[in-house]
């Protein structure tokens, strides 16, 4: 069994999280400049066994899809060409940034650390992945 990787895709940065090899626990992995995401994934996939990828689905409170979805769909197309054997799942990412900010504020980080957008992206990816794992076990 390999890992499941989650991507909180953004125009500037992408938060990345991964499970352990038993697919039990989600952990924040990194924040990557979106321009270098495919290169990061190539290196990561060469060094780790990844079974599946979960990419956040940016939906607002009314159920409308965010404008970044166009970029995400282009990325998914590129991902499937580069990694044809790796299934891609989408998962609703509503509230993950707010939850990430809350969890970071509770962690004892100072104000500057709490406002670091890269940290929020990484924690958001972790929340997406943990929620995906929990839903799968239900």
Q: Which of 137, 133, 113, 123 is nearest to 16 (CA)?
A: 123
Q: What is the pLDDT of residue 114?
A: 43
**Alpha-carbon span 37 to 75, nearest angstrom:** 9
Structure tokens that stand for 51 in this block: 């079974």
Please name the residues in contact with 52: beta carbons below 8 A apart, sequence gap of 6 or more. 4, 5, 86, 87, 88, 89
Q: Does residue 24 surpass a pLDDT of 90?
A: yes
Please check whether residue 9 is in contact with residue 55, taking contact to mean a CB–CB distance below 8 angstroms: yes
Burial class (CB in 10 A: 0-12, 13-18, 19+), 28: buried
Average pLDDT, the chain: 86
Q: What is the pLDDT of residue 15?
A: 95
Q: Which CATH number fits domain 3-137: 1.10.1040.10, 2.102.10.10, 3.40.50.300, 3.30.420.140?
A: 3.30.420.140
CB atoms < 10 A from the CB of 65, how many? 13
Q: What is the pLDDT of residue 135?
A: 86
**Alpha-carbon span 130 to 37, nearest angstrom:** 21
Structure tokens that stand for 121 in this block: 């992206």
Average pLDDT over residues 42-51: 97
pLDDT in tens, 47-105: 999 999 999 988 877 778 888 899 999 999 999 999 999 999 999 876 566 555 555 55
CB atoms < 10 A from the CB of 47, how many? 8
Listed by start position, the domains of the chain span 3-137
Angle CA 18–85–91, to nearest 5: 45
């Amino acid at each position: 069994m390999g890992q499941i990787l989650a991507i909180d895709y953004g125009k500037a940065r992408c938060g990345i999280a991964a499970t352990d090899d038993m697919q039990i626990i989600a952990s924040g992995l990194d924040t990557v400049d979106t321009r270098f995401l495919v290169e990061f994934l190539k290196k990561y996939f060469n060094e780790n066994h990844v079974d599946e990828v979960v990419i956040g689905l940016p939906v607002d409170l009314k159920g409308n899809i965010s404008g970044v979805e166009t970029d995400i769909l282009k990325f998914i197309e590129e991902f499937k060409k580069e990694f044809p054997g790796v299934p891609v799942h989408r998962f609703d990412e509503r509230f993950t940034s707010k939850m990430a900010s809350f969890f970071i504020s509770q962690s004892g980080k100072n104000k500057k650390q709490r406002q670091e957008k890269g940290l929020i992206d990484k924690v958001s990816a972790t929340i997406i992945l943990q929620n995906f794992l929990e839903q799968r076990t239900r």
